[in-house]
């Protein structure tokens, strides 16, 4: 079955160009176009699209207002296609939190050759968005926050490493908001995002969490109650020196920078069985191999279950590889993290399947 798309953009030029790009794939048909959010709300019921592409800056009703309206009435997959994806990273992050599945950075310059460079990415992300179930988009994530003072002073030092991609900003926002200020291990995150987004993304996480969240820098120490977000364009790893866990940044020409696999492998080598690896929603397979390395090193591994994943790609590959101890819906992951670490603090052995962790 083909994918029907509604294109929403206030520029007639962009509406036509996006239509041509999408219909270059025989599996996609643009069934309609809309000039702004109000126009789109009227046309969605008529055209019944599988996916909407959405500009953010529009007259009468902008993209964020449209998202808030449609997600409350008739949730469906939305891919943001906007120059504000660079100029206003804050707005794009808000769009993802409101329920947009993914985003494309629309070149600011008008020359068609620059704009056509986004064609493959646009087609790929629209096709991926078409597979997202409405119930995943509309889900309300709730969990009882983990109580503070849940840990004792006997907990040995360790590292929690988290990887995510498509759907990750919303998942990370929820996950970090559920963790207590006295969380006893440092946390490091590799999230696939453009470099223009990292500062805004980190600041939003910091404002919503009781933990201190900041962008990772060379030789920064992973401390309890602190979260570091890997910078875009660099590989981010962890090394152990003199009993301390330190961040190490490295230039790379790899496809993913930061790579979740790279982060997980480095953490497994540095903290071995004092490691918890968490792989959240995302397209592709980045992180699955690294999660297996963490498990083989004696650490605990957690993957997000398909019931809450926006894109069940990275976690699925990890499960198929036998790399996962716990596969859980997102609301259950904060409690699992705290439960695992609390058992470390009480010097209790843990048995997960055939593995005994001491």
* Residues carrying an active site annotation: 165, 192, 286
Tokens at 230, concatenated: 């890997």
The alpha helices in the chain, defined as continuous H runs, are 12-22, 37-47, 63-73, 84-87, 89-98, 112-115, 119-130, 134-138, 168-177, 195-208, 260-271, 288-296, 314-320, 333-345
Tokens at 116, concatenated: 């056509």
For the chain, how many residues are written?
Answer: 358
The SS3 of residue 316 is helix
Tell me the DSSP string of 274-292: SEEEEE-SBSSSTTHHHHH
Provide the 10 A C-beta neighbour count for residue 161. Answer: 34
With a CB cutoff of 8 Å and minimum separation 6, the contacts of 259 are: 190, 235, 252, 286
Beta strand 300-304 with 275-279 is: parallel
What value does the CA radius of gyration of the chain take, rounded to a whole number of Å? 21
Return the DSSP state at 118: G
Decide if 150 contacts 338 (C-beta within 8 A). yes
Return the DSSP state at 150: -
Which of 281, 282, 300 has its CA nearest to residue 344? Answer: 300
């Amino acid at each position: 079955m083909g994918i029907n798309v509604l294109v929403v953009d206030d520029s007639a030029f962009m509406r036509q160009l996006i239509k041509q790009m999408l219909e270059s794939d025989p599996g996609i048909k643009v069934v309609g176009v809309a000039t702004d959010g109000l126009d789109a709300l009227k046309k969605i019921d008529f055209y019944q699209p599988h996916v909407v592409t959405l500009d953010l800056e529009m007259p009468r009703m902008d993209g964020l207002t449209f998202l808030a309206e449609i997600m409350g009435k008739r949730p469906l997959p939305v891919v943001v296609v906007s120059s504000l994806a660079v100029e206003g990273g804050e707005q794009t992050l808000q769009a993802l939190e409101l329920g947009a599945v993914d985003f494309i950075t629309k070149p600011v310059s008008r020359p068609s050759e620059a704009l056509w460079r986004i064609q493959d990415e646009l087609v790929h992300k629209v096709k991926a968005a078409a597979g997202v179930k409405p119930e995943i988009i509309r889900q309300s994530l709730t969990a009882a926050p983990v109580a503070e003072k849940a840990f004792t002073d006997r907990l040995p030092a360790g590292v929690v490493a988290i990887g995510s991609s498509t759907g990750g900003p919303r998942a990370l926002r929820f996950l970090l908001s559920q963790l207590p200020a006295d969380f006893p291990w440092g946390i490091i995150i590799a999230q696939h995002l453009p470099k223009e987004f990292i500062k805004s993304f980190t600041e939003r996480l910091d404002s919503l969490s009781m933990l201190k969240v900041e962008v990772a820098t060379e030789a920064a120490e992973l401390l309890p109650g602190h979260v570091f977000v890997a910078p875009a364009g660099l590989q981010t790893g962890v090394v152990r020196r003199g009993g301390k866990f330190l961040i190490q940044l490295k230039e790379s020409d790899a496809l993913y920078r930061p790579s979740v696999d790279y982060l997980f492998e480095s953490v497994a080598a540095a903290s071995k069985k004092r490691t918890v690896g968490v792989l959240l929603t995302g397209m592709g397979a980045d992180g699955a191999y690294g999660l297996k390395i963490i498990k083989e090193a004696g650490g605990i591994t957690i993957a997000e279950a398909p019931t809450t994943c926006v894109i069940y790609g990275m976690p699925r590959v990890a499960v198929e590889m036998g790399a996962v101890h716990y596969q859980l819906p997102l609301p259950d992951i904060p409690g699992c993290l705290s439960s695992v670490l609390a058992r470390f603090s009480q010097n209790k052995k843990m048995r997960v399947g055939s593995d005994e962790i001491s």
